[in-house]
Amino acid sequence: MPDPGSPTHPSIQLRAARPDDTAQILDLIGELAAFEKLSHEVVADESTLRDCLFGERPYAEVVIAERNGEAVGFALFFHNFSTFLGRPGIYLEDLYVRPEARGHGLGQQLLAHLAKLAVERGCGRLEWCVLDWNEGAIRFYRRLGAVSMDEWTTFRLTGDALEAMAHAMDI
C-alpha cells in the first residue's frame, strides 16, 4: 500500500480552487502568515480575495491540496513574463502545507503540478521567493533542482510609498 501522502496515494487530491473555497484559502493564508511570523501584515478579507481570485478579472489562481476531502495545503500563483525568454512564466506567491500533512510529499506534488501547468501553458520558468531563515524550505527546493537567484535583490513599494509613487508625476 502506498505511503499516505505519496503521489500515488488515492487520499491526496489537487484541484483548482472554487469561489466557495475563499474562506478556507483565507484561513490557509493566515496559517502561512503565522508560520512566517507575518500575521500582522495580513489585511486580506474574504470579499476582496474572492473578487481578486474569481471576479471579472482574476489576478491569481489557487490549487487546493486535499487529503480525504480536507484542505491540507495550497499554492497561489499567477503569470508573469520574461522579456529575455519572450515567454510567460508562473510566479508562485505562496505554497503552504499544514504541519500535520508535511513530510509526505505534498509540497513536491504542488510544485510538480505547477511545473506541469507551466509546461502545458508554454511558460519558460516557474519561480518563487523564500524567506532566508527558512532553511528547511531552502533545502527542499534545492533537492528538487531549483537554484537560488542570489544576485537579485527584491524591491517593493507598498502603502504610503506606493501612493506617493503613483502620484509622483501628477501635475
Q: Where are the domains of the chain?
A: 12-166
Whole-structure pTM value:
0.90
For position 113, what pLDDT does the model report? 98
User: 64: Cβ–Cβ under 8 A, 6 or more apart, which residues?
Assistant: 14, 15, 16, 17, 21, 24, 25, 71, 73, 74
Residue 63 has a pLDDT of 98
| pLDDT mean values, one per 10 residues, the chain (171 residues) | 43 94 98 97 97 98 95 98 98 97 93 98 97 94 95 94 93 67
Tell me the one-letter amino acid at 166: A
Q: How far apart are CA 115 and CA 123, in angstroms?
A: 9
Q: According to the CATH classification, is domain 12-166 in 3.30.565.10?
A: no
The amino acid that residue 132 corresponds to is D
Q: What is the pLDDT of residue 171?
A: 67
Q: What is the pLDDT of residue 6?
A: 43
124 grid coordinates: 519558460
Active site members? 141
